[in-house]
């Protein structure tokens, strides 16, 4: 506040004022002095002439008397004393002899004019024989002394020292200078006062601007000034007001941006994206947030019995509000999902929980389904959500599943319950389920046309064979092209579920000779082949499995990794029998029946055609529940034998379980070493 200017405006203005006045005074003074000098000279000349004439008049009488010097001396002396600036006062007779002079000693001598005199250039009117002479030091007037009869009696001469004239000029100059100084001082004073009056509002303006600079936009500048400075103050006040409005807008923008960031963060944390597998099903979720974050929700929630809850929802509100409803929805769903087997019942219960948090007119469209990887079926209900797209690989066409369900929270009075229904969709090999939010179907082209359902089906169908990720990626590309890469107006969320196209069929699907063969007869044949291993029913005894395998022609010739897989499968099956089959007094018996075809040098072909028979005499599984040893359904496999299950599924051709035969419980197993190789190729390729 106390900062001082480097050069005060006062100094600047006063310096300029002084300089201008000085220049003016110099110019005016020079002219004035010349004029003064002229005027004074003119006056001195006239006066000198007058005095000379007076002297001549007085001298006329005196020169006619006998003793003119007696009369003239006092006159001359008086004149000389009254005018000390006169250099001389002289009266001469017609002979040029001095008759009157201040100095009595020169009376009677001849009069000589001083040297260097020349006739003066003058405006005074000279009479006959009158002369006005001048030199550097003197101004001289000579006037003839004439009697009353006109007789020339002599001359009267008066000389004036020029120095006196210069003195008068200097005196006039001094006076003039004094006035100039007085005026100048007054001018400076006035200038100072005017400047002070002008600088005060500038100080007020400056203080105001400094306040604005420190961020105080509320205190206006109090300046009632009628000059331009007052206008300036008004302008600054207007500016501060505008700044304040802009500042408020900026703060609001920042708050909104922060809110959007929060909402987006919340959403991103909740929504699972990426790919998961569930048996031969691939599940893939993707989400793309709009600039104004919407309330889209997608989730995959495991259910205790191996099924998976899949859901996708769209809250009508946007921004943080919509996102909070979405969060509520996610929390409620997690709490409720185990309580209702029916998707319809779950959605109705969810609406009850959600309704109080929804504002009037706010609603949620929601798709909820339960996926069973064993049956590859989806039981679902849809509350006003976009139709479910099922791409049927076999037919190569879209099978749209539309329902009558209305959105959650939009209508009261049991209408949701009345319109919702549980539906079931079966997935065939290569089929693709595609459920999305309206951010996809309602994506607009610059021309205002919605992307629409048929285009979604076309794009998804064209990529269904390449898997769900490819289908989603293709749809994203198509949408970007459709909207000319404009940021989406609404969240785009999708959930895709694909069933593998490779016929990973369960054993029952293609009954082989193994299933059709009489198990007891097969067991007898295997025993008679001589490749039999009998072990006590203890896990420790299974160590004998490996040495026995090396004695078998075909299996022993397999590459190490294939042999190891075979060993693990057999170990798993035997261990399972020991652990869950109850008392095994007779021990377990494993027999190898080589392929019946022509002996081949290819061990893989030999092993593929051969089979193992595992016999035990423990408790049989209940046939009506487990008619075949289907790895996927065997409870023993489900309890902590996940890895073994996986290996068995990957490498065995077929497993058939025949409990309670006359020979005991028989497990028939055909093994295909090449199968594991194929799987490996598939996973890496």
Partner 1 sequence: MADSLAIKMDRTPGGAIVARLRGRIDGRTAPDLMMRGLAELESGRTVILNLSEVTFVSSAGVGAIMVLFQTAERQGIGLRLAAPSEAVLSVLGILNLEQFLVIDASESDALRAIGG
Could you say whether residue 384 binds partner 1 (CB under 8 A)? yes
**In contact, 140 and 149? CB cutoff 8 Å:** no
Q: Kindly compute the dihedral angle of the four CA atoms of residues 289, 291, 296, 299, in this order, to the nearest 10 degrees.
A: 20
**Cβ-contact 501, 682 below 8 angstroms:** no
**What tokens appear for 250 in the block?**
């900026």
Q: Is 404 in the site for partner 1 (CB under 8 A)?
A: yes
Query: Of these, 154, 407, 618, 673, which contacts partner 1 (CB under 8 A)?
Result: 407
Contact with partner 1 (CB under 8 A): which of 41, 316, 492, 667?
316
Which residues between 428 and 447 bind partner 1 (CB under 8 A)?
438, 441
* Shortest distance, position 511 Cβ to partner 1, whole Å: 46
Cα gap 618→670, rounded to integer Å: 22
* 290 touches partner 1 by CB under 8 A: no
Query: Contact between 405 and partner 1 (CB under 8 A)?
Result: yes
Q: Site for partner 1 (CB under 8 A): which residue of 415, 546, 622, 680?
A: 415
Nearer to partner 1 by Cβ, of 92 and 419: the residue is 419
Does the protein bind partner 1 through residue 488 (CB under 8 A)? no
Pick the binder of partner 1 from 419, 492, 500, 670 (CB under 8 A): 419
Partners of 378 in the β-ladder: 371, 425
Q: Is 414 in the site for partner 1 (CB under 8 A)?
A: no
| Out of 269, 412, 484, 625, the residue judged to bind partner 1 by CB under 8 A | 412
Shortest CB 452 distance to partner 1, Å = 9
Out of 204, 266, 345, 411, name the contact with partner 1 by CB under 8 A.
411
Shortest distance, CB of residue 247 to partner 1, whole angstroms?
25
Note whether 461 binds partner 1 by CB under 8 A: no
- The verdict on 285 binding partner 1 (CB under 8 A) reads no
Where does this chain touch partner 1 (CB under 8 A) — which range of 147-155, 412-420, 531-539, 624-632?
A: 412-420
How many CB atoms lie under 10 A from the CB of residue 226? 7
Which one, 369 or 407, has the nearer CB to partner 1?
407
Using alpha carbons, list the distances in angstroms from residue 495 to 268, 274, 588, 626: 15, 10, 49, 34
Residue 409 and residue 364 in contact, taking contact as beta carbons nearer than 8 Å? yes
Which C-beta is closer to partner 1: that of 56 or that of 364?
364
Nearer CB in complex with partner 1: 363/621: 363
Q: Which of 386, 463, 493, 500 binds partner 1 (CB under 8 A)?
A: 386
Distance in angstroms (rounded) separating the CA atoms of residues 28 and 184: 14
Q: How many CA atoms lie within 13 A of 585 on its CB side?
A: 0
Asked whether position 362 contacts partner 1 by CB under 8 A, the answer is yes
403 lies in the binding site for partner 1 (CB under 8 A): yes
For residue 318, state whether it binds partner 1 (rule: CB under 8 A). yes
Question: How buried is 461 (Cβ within 10 angstroms: 0-12 exposed, 13-18 middle, 19+ buried)?
Answer: buried
Minimum distance of partner 1 from residue 334's CB (angstroms): 25
Which positions from 363 to 382 touch partner 1 by CB under 8 A, shown as an x/- string?
x-x-----------------
CA 256 to CA 243: how far, in whole Å?
A: 20
Q: How far apart are CA 381 and CA 617, in angstroms?
A: 48
Residue 267 lies near partner 1 (rule: CB under 8 A): no
Phi, psi of 113, rounded to the nearest 5 degrees: -65, 145
| Token pair listed for 469 | 């990720």
Size of site (CB under 8 A) for partner 1: 23
Residue 101 contacts partner 1 per CB under 8 A: no
> Which listed range, 117-125, 223-231, 357-365, 671-679, lies at the site for partner 1 (CB under 8 A)?
357-365
Cβ-based nearer residue to partner 1, 285 or 409: 409
> Which residue pairs from 468-471 have beta carbons closer than 8 angstroms and sit at least 24 positions apart in sequence?
468/275, 468/282, 468/283, 468/284, 468/432, 468/434, 468/496, 468/497, 468/498, 469/275, 469/284, 469/496, 471/432, 471/434, 471/496, 471/498
d(CA 69, CA 79): 15
As a dihedral over the C-alpha atoms of residue 378, residue 379, residue 384, residue 389, rounded to 10 degrees, the angle is 20
Pick 362 or 422: Cβ nearer partner 1: 362
What is the total residue count of the chain? 685
Residues that bind partner 1 (CB under 8 A): 314, 316, 318, 360-363, 365, 384, 386-387, 403-407, 410-412, 415, 419, 438, 441
């Amino acid at each position: 506040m106390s900062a001082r200017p480097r050069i005060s405006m006062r100094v600047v203005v006063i310096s300029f004022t002084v300089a201008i006045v000085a220049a003016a005074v110099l110019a005016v003074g020079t002219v004035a002095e010349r004029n003064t000098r002229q005027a004074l000279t003119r006056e001195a000349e006239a006066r000198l002439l007058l005095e000379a004439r007076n002297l001549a008049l007085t001298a006329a009488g005196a020169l006619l008397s006998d003793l003119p010097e007696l009369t003239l001396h006092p006159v001359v002396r008086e004149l000389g004393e009254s005018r000390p600036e006169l250099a001389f006062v002289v009266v001469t007779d017609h002979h040029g002899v001095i008759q009157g002079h201040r100095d009595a000693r020169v009376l009677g001598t001849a009069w000589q004019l001083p040297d260097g005199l020349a006739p003066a250039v003058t405006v005074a009117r000279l009479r006959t024989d009158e002369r006005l002479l001048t030199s550097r030091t003197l101004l001289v007037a000579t006037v003839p002394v004439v009697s009353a009869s006109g007789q020339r009696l002599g001359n009267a001469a008066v000389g004036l020292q020029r120095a006196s004239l210069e003195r008068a000029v200097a005196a006039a100059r001094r006076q003039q200078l004094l006035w100039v100084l007085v005026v100048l001082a007054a001018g400076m004073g006035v200038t100072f006062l005017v400047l002070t009056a002008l600088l005060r509002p500038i100080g007020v303006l400056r203080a105001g601007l400094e306040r604005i600079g420190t961020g105080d936009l509320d205190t206006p500048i109090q300046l009632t000034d009628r000059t331009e400075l007052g206008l300036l103050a008004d302008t600054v006040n207007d500016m501060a007001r505008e700044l304040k409005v802009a500042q408020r807008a900026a703060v609001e923008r920042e708050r909104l941006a922060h809110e959007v960031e929060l909402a987006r963060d919340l959403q991103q944390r909740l929504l699972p994206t990426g790919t998961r597998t569930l048996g031969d099903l691939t599940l893939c979720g993707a989400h793309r947030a709009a600039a104004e974050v919407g309330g889209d929700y997608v989730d995959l929630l495991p259910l205790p019995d191996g099924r998976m809850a899949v859901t996708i929802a769209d809250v009508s509100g946007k921004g943080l509000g919509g996102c909070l409803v979405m969060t509520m929805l996610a929390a409620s769903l997690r709490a409720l999902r185990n309580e209702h087997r029916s998707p319809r019942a779950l959605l109705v219960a969810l609406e009850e929980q959600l309704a109080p948090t929804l504002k009037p007119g706010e609603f949620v469209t929601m798709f909820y389904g339960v996926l069973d990887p064993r049956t590859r079926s989806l039981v679902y209900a849809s509350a006003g959500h976009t139709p479910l797209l099922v791409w049927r690989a076999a037919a190569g066409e879209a099978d749209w599943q539309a329902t009558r369900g209305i959105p959650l929270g939009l209508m009261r009075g049991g209408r949701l319950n009345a319109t919702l229904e549980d539906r079931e969709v079966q997935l065939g090999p290569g089929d693709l389920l595609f459920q999305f939010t309206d951010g996809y179907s309602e994506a607009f082209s610059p021309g205002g046309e919605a992307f629409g359902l048929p285009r979604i089906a076309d794009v998804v169908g064209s990529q269904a064979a390449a898997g769900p990720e490819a289908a989603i990626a293709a749809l994203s590309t198509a949408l970007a092209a459709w909207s000319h890469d404009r940021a989406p107006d609404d969240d785009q969320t999708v959930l895709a579920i694909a069933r593998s196209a490779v016929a990973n069929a369960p054993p029952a699907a293609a009954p082989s000779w193994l299933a059709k063969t009489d198990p007891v007869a097969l067991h007898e044949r295997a025993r008679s082949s001589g490749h039999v291993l009998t072990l006590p029913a203890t896990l420790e005894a299974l160590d004998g499995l490996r040495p026995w395998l090396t004695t078998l022609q075909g299996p022993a010739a397999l590459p190490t990794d294939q042999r190891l897989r075979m060993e693990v499968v057999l170990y798993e099956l035997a261990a399972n029998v020991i652990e869950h089959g109850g008392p095994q007094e007779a021990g377990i018996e494993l027999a190898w029946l080589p392929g019946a075809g022509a002996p081949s040098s290819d061990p893989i072909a030999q092993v593929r055609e051969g089979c193992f028979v595992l016999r035990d005499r423990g408790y049989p599984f209940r046939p009506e529940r487990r008619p075949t040893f289907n790895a996927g359904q065997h409870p023993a496999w489900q309890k902590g034998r996940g890895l073994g299950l996986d290996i068995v599924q990957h490498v065995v051709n077929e497993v058939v379980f025949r409990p309670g035969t006359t020979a005991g419980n028989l497990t028939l197993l055909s093994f295909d070493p090449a199968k594991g190789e194929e799987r490996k190729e598939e996973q890496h390729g």
